[in-house]
Amino acid sequence: MFGTLSRSSKLTLLALLVLAILPPIFIWTGNSFYVDLATRLVILAIAAVSLNLILGYGGMISFGHAAYLGIGAYAVGIPAHHELYGGFEAIASFGGFTHIFLAVGISALFALITGAICLRTKGVYFIMITMAFAQMLYYLLVSLDEYGADDGLVIDARSEFPLINLDNSLQLYFVCLASLAAAMLIVRTVVHSRFGMVLQGAKGNEERMTSLGYNVYAYRLVAYVISGAMCGFAGALLGNFTTFISPEMMAWSRSGELMFMVILGGVATTLGPLLGSAAFIIIEEAFSSYTIYWHLPFGLMLMAVVLYTNGGIMGMKFKWRSPSAEKGTQENGTK
Amino acid sequence: MDTSLLIIQTLNGIQLGLLLFLVASGLTLIFGILDFVNLAHGSLYMVGAFFCATLTFALGSFPLAVLIALPLTGLVGYGVERFVARKLYAKDHLQHVLGTFGLILVFDTLTHMIWGPQGISIPLPAWLDTQVTLMKDVVFPTYRLLIIVSGLVCAAGLYWLVNHTRLGMLIRAGASNRTMVSALGIDIKTLFALVFAIGAMLAGLAGMLIAPITEAKIGMGNEVIITAFVVIIVGGIGSVKGAFIAAILIGLIDTLGRSFLDDVFKLFMSSSAAETSAPAISAMLIYLLMALILAFRPQGLFPPMVR
Amino acid sequence: MSSILEMKDLRKSYGGVTATDGVSLSVEKNILHAIIGPNGAGKTTLISLLSGAVKPDGGKIFFAGKDITSQPAYSRAKVGISRSYQITSLIMSMSVLDNVALAIQARSGHSFKFIKPAKSLTKIRSEALNILKQIGLADRAEDLTSNLSHGEHRLVEIAIALASNAQCMMLDEPMAGLGPEESVRMIAFIKQLKGSRTILLIEHDMDAVFALADTISVLVYGKIIATGSPDEIRNNEAVRHAYLGEE
């Protein structure tokens, strides 16, 4: 069965396997701190995978993707808050399915409305507008005293699911890991479908795709909504993991970090976002344990990546294998 | 509604708008002529404020500090162009955004290392720390009035620079046709660096002017930069005139929204509902305006003629 | 014969420059109609107006009797107008086969299909491969488009036009930049396309135009100054004066 898989699929499965094996070992060896780290890594990877769909495959440079992480987390925190303290009966709940429904639904709706406006514009406008809409949400939540304003809100109870107990860190971790695997599979399937061909074609040459008869705007909007919904789901997991929500989760520097993960890992690859998130977590941990000024080396590194590499980690590897392969096309090249 | 409060808040809105214009004009010039997205433009706003703070304490005079901090901030802007931005022009917008995002982290952390985590408040000289009575019941801080005057002077100066000088002609030509400017035998690199330095000084000045009111603090640039983006999106990227009109519009809407929206809401909903929803809506007001304008004019109000 | 594509008083200017100055023209069905004119005559603008990439300032466009003036570009492709580009406009980051397959996919219903891999759709893939065979590029099908030569890019442009199987094909200078041998190949290929569909050809290469065209229109400074058979155009005084005389 493995023989029929492409090289990049094998690498992806291997990476997921490693992620499945390590945390139980961490627990048994008493290093539960690393399980938390791995959980955060996996959740960020889901967000990065979702961003990669529009940024990597669709060429839509969204600088507001953290907004969906925030929406997802608040979709856990707000219903739980009302369930505990009353008010807003319609959504008050500890129920996991309610939370997921709200996280995914509101994210999709926000993506649909803002995407419909953002996608009318191009280039720099698009970057700045996605950023501005995320910031709008940020200020909205800062102004809501009921949910802690900029101090944030502690989530007193995690989402409740049948059979699964998210208070158990290993169970939470495996839920996140399974979600990551599903997210990767979904994006991989979508980008190889006819829809995905149109999306990638529009990234390569929008005018050509239009003159072929594709309503590029509509295809991009659908991809934008899928991506937002997926990231909203990641946000719900993040809320359950941190049990704390604050507007800071959707600050634009968070969006910048997500972009960094996607670019560093290598855009338009299945494994790239995971590698990028892993690199980010490692950099953050490594530097921040030495110095409170860890953003300095991180910032310098970001600049170095932009100035001196072209296709991120995946790009470097594939460049070494086939110097002629252009950036952004590694995935197709491995077929 | 209280008329004198309305006048005062209108003046506050104009003051905010002019500060936004100082930041946005540099941003829009740099984008217009260099096709470069500079997220770190807000860092120059912050750097200006901190320079000014240190110099005010060293020299004991705020106006003198501003005069010295201005060229210093311009120099930092020049350095950013020379060592970072210049290497990024040939790359795409995505790389610009990521690279200058890295630059922001560097600036923020360096500021943290040099000046510490606390904000620094700048004392105003006694003659500025007063109030003027503009008309009956309208008392306005002298310093805010000074901000309005300096903002208008800068706007006029910039208008003169762009429309009536040789440099301005090159800037306008460069914005629409870069190869033509190089073909004229102009040293395009110097021109670019100059534009960057001017933009840095304008942003820095805004930071210096606001610092006595808010204090110089880390991250102040990251708040202003997004609003400045909204300004240039609404105004049309590359247009200084658009940036001016949009900045005043947004300054007014933001300020008036925050102070009067609850009164407006109370006209058609219960006062408790108005008090809960008004802050939320007013926080989003300028973004809603942006969305509305873009829905009808994706290129902003005053898109540059040729790009 | 009936006309399939009609322009009525089309106008377009950029800033102060008038690129299309009241063009009225009727293109008859299933013929090859060439539009010639000196550089800067507004030929590409005219194609862009017809394909919908550019909005006219005034005038109307009718296709098969229907007013399509306000239809967006993508829906014009759906009713049967395709275009090739003067400056090669391919999806360089995809394989040659993918470029052609996307053209076929475009006319095979909507593409909001998310699950089945596009590469498993044998009908589309084999049709695309057939077209590549016809133009002699079958062996480069799996290559990345950016790795092909300029001449090959021009052929892929035509392959895409062919794959879109449009009733009306607009070819914008297909010979541009081709060597003599490649030009001969291209002319032979366009000849094959003739008869079964309407072709609007914009071309600088006069030998090609006179070898291929049934009707020729001459566009000068955004105005059509003459329309007629190749012989009529050859002997038209105004045309010789305004255009051919310069060469």
Q: How many domains does chain A have?
A: 1
Per-residue pLDDT of chain B (307 residues; tens, 9 = 90+): 578 889 999 999 999 999 999 999 989 888 877 888 889 999 999 999 999 999 999 998 999 999 999 999 999 999 999 988 888 888 888 888 889 999 999 999 999 999 998 999 998 888 888 888 888 788 889 999 999 999 999 999 998 988 888 888 877 776 666 666 666 666 777 888 888 999 999 999 999 999 999 999 998 998 899 999 999 989 988 888 899 999 999 999 999 998 888 888 888 888 887 887 888 888 889 998 988 888 888 888 887 654 3
C107 to A213: CB separation less than 8 angstroms, yes or no = yes
Buried b (16+ CB within 10 A) or exposed e, C30-45: bbbbbbbbbeebbbbb
One domain for residues C126 and C186: no
Nearest to B229 among A61, A131, A307 (CB): A131
Residue A187 and residue A47 in contact, taking contact as beta carbons nearer than 8 Å: no
What one-character-per-residue DSSP string does B106-173 give? Answer: HHHHHHHHHH-SS-B--PPPTTTS-EEEEETTEEEEHHHHHHHHHHHHHHHHHHHHHHHSHHHHHHHH
> Nearest residue on chain A to C50, judged by CA atoms?
A211
Mutating which of A57, A198, A208, A227 best tests the C interface, going by the most C Cβ atoms within 10 A? A208
C112 vs A contacts (CB less than 8 Å): 195, 219, 222
Residues C178 and C190 in one domain: yes
Closest partner CB to B109 (pick from A117, A295, A306): A295
Cβ-defined contact of C113 to A211 (cutoff 8 Å): no
- Cα torsion B42, B45, B49, B51 to 10°: value is 100
Smallest CA–CA distance from A293 into chain B, residue = B109
Across the interface, whether the CB atoms of C74 and A213 are under 8 A apart is answered yes
Q: Is B192 within a domain? A: yes
In three-state secondary structure terms, A291 is coil
The pLDDT of residue B43 is 95
Looking at chain A from residue 223 to 262, which residues have their Cβ under 8 Å from any Cβ of chain C? none
For the ranges A175-189, A191-205, B137-151, the lowest mean pLDDT is seen at B137-151
Pick the residue from chain C with its C-alpha nearest to A324. Answer: C147
pLDDT at site B131: 86
Q: What is the pLDDT of residue A312?
A: 58
Residues of C with CB under 8 A from a CB of A: 51, 53, 72-78, 82-83, 85, 89-95, 98, 101-103, 105-107, 111-119, 121, 144, 146-147, 160, 164
- Angle subtended by helix axes B93-115 and A123-142, to nearest 10: 40
Give CA torsion, residues C165, C170, C175, C181, to 10 deg: 30
Measured between CA atoms, how close is A159 to chain B, in angstroms? 27
Q: Are C5 and C198 in contact (CB under 8 A)?
A: yes
Residues C74 and C123 in one domain: no
The last residue of one of the domains, among C107, C141, C165, is: C165
C-chain residues near A333 (CB < 8 A): 144
Position A286 scores a pLDDT of: 86
Task: Kindly list the residues from chain A whose CB atom is less than 8 angstroms away from the CB atom of residue C53.
Answer: 207, 210-211
- Same structural domain, C52 and C121: no
Please answer yes or no on whether A215 and C117 come within 8 Å at the CB atom. no
Mean pLDDT lowest among A133-137, A324-328, B199-203: A324-328
* Span A64-71, average pLDDT: 96
CB within 8 Å: A205 and C91: yes
Distance from CA of B132 to the nearest CA of A (A): 32
Is A195's Cβ below 8 Å from some Cβ in C?
Answer: yes
Whether pLDDT at A301 is above 50:
yes
- Interchain pair B226, A135: CB under 8 A: yes
> Which of C108, C135, C165 is where one domain is finished?
C165
Cα of A237 to nearest chain C Cα, Å:
25
Q: Report CB contact under 8 Å: B295, A117.
A: yes
The least confident of A35-49, A80-94, A162-176 is A80-94
What distance separates the 2 farthest-apart alpha carbons in chain A? Answer: 62
- Give the pLDDT score at B278: 84
Identify from A113, A139, A150, A308 which residue to disrupt to test chain B contact, counting B C-beta atoms within 10 A and taking the largest count. A139
Residue A216, pLDDT score = 96
- Same domain for C111 and C147, yes or no, is yes
Domain that holds residue B160: 10-218
Please tell me the distance in Å from C239's CA to the nearest CA on chain A. 32
A238 pLDDT exceeds 90? yes
Q: What is the pLDDT of residue C243?
A: 65
Burial class (CB in 10 A: 0-12, 13-18, 19+), B184: exposed
Domain extent for C16:
1-80+167-247
Reported as a single tens digit per residue, the pLDDT across C150-194 is 888 988 998 998 898 888 999 998 888 888 888 888 888 888 888
Stated pTM of the model: 0.89
Query: Is the pLDDT higher at A156 or at B208?
Result: B208
- Domain span at residue A250? 2-333
Domain boundary among C165, C200, C230: C165
How far is the C-alpha of A160 from the C-alpha of A166, rounded, in Å?
7
**The pLDDT of residue B275:** 80
Alpha carbon separation from B48 to B31, B201, C213 (Å, rounded): 21, 8, 68
Q: For residue A39, what pLDDT band results from cuts at 50, 70 and 90?
A: very high
Is pLDDT above 70 for A5? yes
How much of chain A is in helix, strand and coil states, percent to nearest 5? 75, 0, 20
Query: Percent of chain A at pLDDT above 70?
Result: 91
C-beta atoms of C114 and A213 within 8 A: no
Percent of chain C's residues with pLDDT above 70: 98
Predicted pLDDT at A334:
32
Decide if B254 is inside a domain.
Answer: no
Tell me: do C176 and C161 sit in the same domain: no
Q: Cα distance from A67 to chain B (closest Cα, Å)? A: 14
Q: What is the pLDDT of residues A95-132, one digit of tens each?
A: 999 999 999 999 999 999 999 999 998 888 899 899 98
> Does residue C189 contact residue C26 with C-beta atoms inside 8 Å?
no
- pLDDT for position B3: 84
Q: Is the pLDDT of residue A3 over 70?
A: no
Task: Report which residue type is found at A255.
Answer: S
Helix axes B3-34, B240-266, angle to 10 degrees: 150
Distance CA B291, CA C49 (A): 30
Closest C-alpha among A131, A118, A121, A77 to residue A99: A77
pLDDT at A329: 38
pLDDT band at A324 (very low <50, low <70, confident <90, very high): very low
Q: Are C13 and C212 in contact (CB under 8 A)?
A: no
Chain C residues in contact with A208 by the CB 8 A cut-off are 85, 89-91, 160
In angstroms, the separation between the Cα of residue A170 and the nearest Cα of chain B is 34
Residues C146 and C219 in one domain: no
Tell me which residues of chain A have a C-beta less than 8 Å from any C-beta of chain B. Answer: 55, 61, 63, 114, 117, 120-121, 123-125, 127-129, 131-133, 135-136, 139-140, 142-144, 146, 252-253, 256, 259-260, 263, 293, 295-296, 298-303, 305-307
Count of structural domains within chain B: 1
Across the interface, whether the CB atoms of C89 and A332 are under 8 A apart is answered: no
When pLDDT is cut at 50, 70 and 90, the band that residue A18 belongs to is: very high
Decide the pairing of beta strands C168-172 and C81-83: parallel
Interface contact A210, partner C, CB < 8 A: yes
Query: Inter-chain contact C111–A189, Cβ cutoff 8 Å?
Result: no
The H or E element containing residue A113 is: helix A96-118
Tell me which chain A residue has its CA closest to the CA of residue B107. A296
Residues of B with CB under 8 A from a CB of A: 31, 37, 84, 87-88, 91, 93-95, 97-99, 101-106, 108-110, 112-113, 222, 226, 229-230, 232-233, 237, 276, 279-280, 282-284, 287-288, 290-291, 294-295, 298-300
B156 class by beta-carbon count within 10 Å (0-12 exposed, 13-18 middle, 19+ buried): exposed
Q: Report whether pLDDT(C103) > 50.
A: yes
* More confident of the two residues B81 and C196: B81
Are both C105 and C211 inside the same structural domain? no
Buried b (16+ CB within 10 A) or exposed e, A155-166: beebbbeeeeeb
Q: Judge: B101–A144 Cβ closer than 8 Å, yes or no.
A: no
Among A238-242, B94-98, C143-147, which is the least confidently predicted range? B94-98
In the predicted structure, residue A234 carries a pLDDT above the cut 50: yes
| Shared-domain flag, residues C66 and C177 | yes
Residue C89 to residue A205, Cβ atoms within 8 A: yes
C208 and C155 assigned to the same domain:
no
CA of A140: which chain B residue's CA is closest? Answer: B280
Would the CB atoms of C115 and A196 count as touching at under 8 Å? Answer: no
- Separation CA A50–CA B295 (nearest Å): 26
> How close C50 gets to chain A, by Cα (Å)?
11
